């Protein structure tokens, strides 16, 4: 499965690295690519993972998932 997540709060390459690290730690996530300019992450998973789970992974950071496709 592939999901595109719209993100809020990313401003630099450090932000990209943090989001990638947090999303990669979620069980079932196989590949994460983060697009700073597009303010989105594309996540490939082996199971259905809710937008809520991705937001929970970002808890304690300045980032937030604002939508998905």
User: What is the tens place of the pLDDT at every residue in 29-65?
Assistant: 999 999 999 999 999 999 999 999 999 999 999 999 9
Structure tokens at 16: 């990209």
pTM: 0.95
Give domain 2-68's CATH number out of 3.30.360.10, 1.10.600.10, 3.30.70.100, 3.40.50.2300: 3.30.70.100
Q: Give the start-to-end residue ranges of the domains of the chain.
A: 2-68
pLDDT of residue 4: 97
């Amino acid at each position: 499965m592939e999901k595109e997540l719209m993100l809020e709060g990313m401003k630099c390459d450090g932000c990209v690295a943090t989001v990638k690290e947090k999303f990669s730690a979620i069980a079932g996530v196989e590949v994460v690519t983060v697009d700073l300019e597009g303010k989105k992450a594309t996540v490939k998973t082996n199971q259905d993972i809710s937008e809520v789970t991705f937001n929970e992974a970002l808890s304690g950071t300045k980032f937030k998932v604002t939508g998905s496709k």
